[in-house]
């Protein structure tokens, strides 16, 4: 919380407190918390899917199947890009840039 001096209107920087992530999350309503968790979960699923696909890509290359390995590599890049987008959206929910009033 930032406190100001009522007579001068100056900010008293010694009284600034930093909010923890838990406090910020508490500012989110239940629907926003659910949305944030869902976005984070989907991003995590994409990340682990990309990791598994990279493992499959390596096996394909070892077997000499370069065409399929390249196709899997493109999927990995797509998943990684989507994972970053979803993580960004989750941060926007936390920052109240994106909000949800009520789950439908």
3-state secondary structure of 3: strand
Give yes or no for a contact between 17 and 2, defined as CB atoms under 8 angstroms apart: no
DSSP class per residue in 54-89: HHHHHHHHHTT-HHHHHHHHHHHHHHHHHHHHHHHH
Low-confidence stretches of the chain (pLDDT < 50) are 1-17
Distance from C-alpha of 51 to C-alpha of 48, rounded to nearest angstrom: 5
CA 36 – CA 91 distance, rounded (Å):
8
pTM above 0.75, yes or no: no
pLDDT (tens digit per residue) in 27-42 = 778 888 999 999 999 9
């Amino acid at each position: 919380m930032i406190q100001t001096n009522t007579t001068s209107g100056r900010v008293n920087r010694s009284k600034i407190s930093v909010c923890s992530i838990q406090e910020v999350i508490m500012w989110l309503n239940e629907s926003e918390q659910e949305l944030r968790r869902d976005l984070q979960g989907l991003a995590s699923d994409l990340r682990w899917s990309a990791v598994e696909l990279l493992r499959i890509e390596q096996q394909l290359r070892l077997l000499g199947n370069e065409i399929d390995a390249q196709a899997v590599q493109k999927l990995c890049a797509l998943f990684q890009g989507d994972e970053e987008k979803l993580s960004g959206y989750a941060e926007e929910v936390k920052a109240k840039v994106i909000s949800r009033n009520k789950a439908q």
